[in-house]
Amino acid sequence: RLYRPFVAAKLSEAIPATCKKIAVLDRTKEPGSLGEPLYIDVVTALSMTGRTNIKVVGGRYGLGSKDTPPQSVFAVYENLAADAPKNNFTIGIVDDVTGLSLEEKPAPDTAAPGTIACKFWGLGGDGTVGANKNSIKIIGDHTDKFIQAYFQYDSKKTSGITISHLRFGDKAIKSPYYINKADFVACHNSSYLKKYDMVSDIKPGGTFLLDCAWDMAGLEENLPAKVKSYIANNNVKFYTIDATTIATKQIGNAKVKNTVLQSAFFSLANILPKDEAIDYMKKAAYKSYIKKGQAMVDLNYAAIDAGSDAFVEVAVPEAWKTVAPDAPKAAYTSKRADLEKFVNTVVNPVNAMAGDSLPVSAFSDYVDGTFPQGSTASEKRGVAVYVPEWYPENCIQCNNCAFVCPHAAIRPFAMTEAEAAAAPAATKFTEKPVIKTAYKFSMAISPADCMGCTLCVKACPVTAKAEKDGTDKKAIAMVLRETQDDQQAPWDYAVANVSEKPELINATVKGSQFKQPLLEFSGSCAGCAETSYARLITQLFGERMYISNATGCSSIWGGSAPATPYTVNNATGHGPAWANSLFEDNAEHGLGIHLGQKTIRNRLIAKVEEMMASDKASDEFKAAAKAYIDSKDDGKTNKAAADALVVELEKAVAAGCPTAPAILAEKDYLAKKSVWIFGGDGWAYDIGFGGLDHVIASGEDVNIMVFDTEVYSNTGGQASKASNIGQVAQFAAAGKAIGKKNLAEIAMSYGYVYVAQVAMGADMNQLLKALTEAEAYNGPSIIIGYAPCEMHGIKGTMANCQLEMKKAVDSGYWQMFRYNPALKAEGKNPFTLDSKEPTGSYIDFIKNENRYSRLAASNPERAEKLFEQAEANAKAKYERLTKYSKLYE
């Protein structure tokens, strides 16, 4: 239906002569206008057709994708029934600031008679959404029923929450809102029961399916009282199924859990005869998974057969009807008052899926769009089935495990005798102290924040004979999360109470990890390479960082509402200042941040120099000012010099200096800042390349970090100019035929841009050198980091992310090097090739990833041709890089 042209006569014809009042709902907000577009059109049309006897009011709905349930619409009719209906109203939210909202009351079930409503609560990445898409297609294709499906997601890249809303019935479904009265509810993650109010959506007499490993005693122990009471008092049919164990133990692949649960749903819902439902599910599974190989198809077949009768009905005890309520959940507490208020007022309700109930006043402290940093620490999601256990008797204190951790959920701590004595009893320590100190060494792990990626275990270089069971063990191993619950207290204690030890902190693999990470517990995928890079950068420069972030994966895990993973140092209260503009203008946005603070700082420096020249300035002030001016371009030392200068400026104010107050008013800009521009390859190579090129050509002192996943990761895996020959991606289904854009060499062509290519898993020390050199370089720098991604389909999953980086370098697929223009002034070669000549097989490497092996399976001849060309290109690039080494000698 076309909104324009708006035909007044047609509208008038459609309105009965008996109509007295009309409410017009717009899904937009146009500040400064007398009314929203549709409202103005309706008022104008009625005026033009002589229908001025009709009272017209306007309102807004659905802003920010807000759901509009029946009670909101009923509120509109109640408003119209009033003698003087409110104009310019809002529905779907409690507006207790401007008073524009309409009061809403519980509404009846408005679905068509016979409509069955089903709601599935899943974990992001567990396949629940995909299985439900198949389910609704099966029902639509193989029954006479009408169907409808909506899917809700949070902003976590994986292991967030998903809610699938499925409706089917014998009459047309006209319910454009989420289900809040369900015939069937399934919970695919038992931890959700204590986080979300899901059973209250079940209609009396409805069905509840819970995926858990609990027997009756376990249910008694783990089910919240509110859940027990609702099930018992509303005659809910309650079933359990241990889909996780069936998938992992019986079938041998945790990823088919979704299919086990899908099969159980069809059996319980009884929509189709069981044999027919199984047949249709298997056909859908073949279509969905054959691209991953017949083996994956067969696993899903086994899951369908197993799930069809694996559920158990629970005999609901009569005692549940009168069960005593649980103690209320304790409020979040923090040493930072702003964070504590934000978490309790906004974060916790939103994370409990109760954000729609928040009134406008809850956001009154955040009207400018800024949120307190560090709120992800309050989430404690506890989504990992397996988490690491540390064996101090085997540990060599290398800190590799913490260095690779994407979520900063494992950290080394050096404790004084007093700190160690006050630690919880479950705290573990190595027998040997931190080398060359008396500090006691402890590796703290947060089971509630860990994502279970296994990178820490893979990174551990130790194999030692563990006395506990006589097997070869590293210093760390993956175990069931429940066995590590006692390690949460040691983690909480260490994070809150153990001080940093400055003498241990340096730009080495080990030393960098004694610094508090200022990116923690993000919503990135388990094993994500991007967050490992970003977390390390915050440990090196975070307390003086600005970050301009391109839209993409790094903006989703880096700044999605409500919780913020970037945080502040516990001791100083300083951390990265983060902002996201658009996809296409991120480089310019970052340059603007740099130029803005540079302009202010230059003005302050001029004032300091003016004061230095005064004969009234004290010798102490002149000394502090000189130290500050001399170090103004050195971010490492300038902060201390700026702090000393502030002390002297405060003395100058007390002495009556007229200039000092103006400098102190903007003292936050005195110290040199580290400006970083973050983004993925879709931004850097494609959409934002023009801006990136403009910024590096400017000569300004900004640092650019490109997370190169060789694909548009955030939007589902479309090919970018960073995608390589032979790679299968969206828009390159037959394998990309064009080679990868050489962004690094384009940047090097300027001659004055610091350029590096890095791969954390291949060489941690080379990465640290590149980061520290780039940040220290007084000019533009760009670092391109190889970042394996879920979209690559690595064999062995993202648990092998860091190992895959090493294989990429060893096979010649990825090259590591550094180009440092600052070395020219020292008479040194600015180009360093850090990669050795390839020793591994290029073809074997790419065939280890589904993005390439898919082509070999579907079109072997084309794959062979493209793979050979890709290998030839890689060899030619390495040869060219070796020539650069000689060229710059």
- With respect to residue 536, please indicate whether it lies within any of the assigned structural domains: no
Among residues 47, 73, 90, the one where a domain terminates is: 90
| Beta-carbon count within 10 A of 733 CB | 12
Among the listed residues 67, 49, 70, 46, the one whose alpha carbon sits nearest the alpha carbon of residue 58 = 46
- With respect to residue 424, please indicate whether it lies within any of the assigned structural domains: yes
Per-residue pLDDT at 467: 52
Per-residue pLDDT at 470: 58
Question: Are residues 289 and 142 both part of a single domain?
Answer: yes
User: What is the number of domains present in the chain?
Assistant: 6
Residues in contact with 667: Cβ distance below 8 Å, sequence separation at least 6, in sequence order: 642, 646, 649
Question: Are residues 21 and 138 both part of a single domain?
Answer: no
For residue 389, the domain's CATH number is 3.30.70.20
Question: Are residues 465 and 398 both part of a single domain?
Answer: yes
Pairing label, strands 545-549, 577-580: parallel
Give per-10-residue mean pLDDT for the chain (889 aa).
86 96 96 94 97 96 91 97 96 94 92 94 91 95 95 85 95 94 95 92 97 95 96 98 93 92 94 93 91 87 95 97 93 94 95 91 93 94 92 96 98 98 98 96 97 96 65 87 96 97 97 98 95 98 97 93 94 95 93 98 97 93 97 95 97 94 97 98 96 98 98 93 95 94 97 98 98 98 98 93 98 98 94 96 96 93 96 96 87
For residue 260, the domain's CATH number is 3.40.920.10
For residue 75, the domain's CATH number is 3.40.50.920
Going through 437-567 in order, the beta strands assigned E by DSSP cover: 440-445, 464-465, 472-473, 476-480, 545-549
- With respect to residue 368, please indicate whether it lies within any of the assigned structural domains: yes
Question: Are residues 86 and 209 both part of a single domain?
Answer: no
Q: What is the separation of C-alpha 204 from the centre of its chain, rounded to a whole number of angstroms?
A: 37
Classify 581 in phi/psi space as left (phi over 0), alpha (psi -120 to 50) or beta. alpha
Among residues 640, 669, 698, the one where a domain terminates is: 669
- With respect to residue 101, please indicate whether it lies within any of the assigned structural domains: no
Question: Are residues 658 and 598 both part of a single domain?
Answer: yes
Range of the domain at 838: 710-887
Per-residue pLDDT at 608: 97
Question: Are residues 595 and 739 both part of a single domain?
Answer: no
Per-residue pLDDT at 471: 60
- With respect to residue 327, please indicate whether it lies within any of the assigned structural domains: no
Contact 697, 672 (CB under 8 A): no
- Say how far apart CA 786 and CA 789 lie, in whole Å: 10
Question: Are residues 393 and 353 both part of a single domain?
Answer: no
Question: Are residues 427 and 510 both part of a single domain?
Answer: yes
For residue 788, the domain's CATH number is 3.40.50.970
Among the listed residues 370, 380, 367, 368, the one whose alpha carbon sits nearest the alpha carbon of residue 339 = 370
Question: Are residues 743 and 613 both part of a single domain?
Answer: no
Bridge partners, residue 712, by sequence: 718
Question: Are residues 302 and 396 both part of a single domain?
Answer: no
- With the CA atoms of 555, 558, 564 and 566 taken in that order, what torsion angle do they form, in degrees rounded to the nearest 10? -140
Contact 274, 245 (CB under 8 A): no
- With respect to residue 281, please indicate whether it lies within any of the assigned structural domains: yes
Task: Determine the Cα angle at 250 with ends 245 and 252, to 5°.
Answer: 90
Among residues 638, 669, 700, the one where a domain terminates is: 669
Contact 784, 706 (CB under 8 A): yes
Per-residue tokens: 234: 């509303």
Question: Are residues 841 and 818 both part of a single domain?
Answer: yes
Q: How many CA atoms lie within 13 A of 282 on its CB side?
A: 17
- With respect to residue 451, please indicate whether it lies within any of the assigned structural domains: yes
Q: How many CA atoms lie within 13 A of 412 on its CB side?
A: 29
Contact 699, 708 (CB under 8 A): no
- Say how far apart CA 443 and CA 510 lie, in whole Å: 12
| Beta-carbon count within 10 A of 203 CB | 16
- Say how far apart CA 314 and CA 308 lie, in whole Å: 17
Question: Are residues 386 and 507 both part of a single domain?
Answer: yes
- With respect to residue 581, please indicate whether it lies within any of the assigned structural domains: no
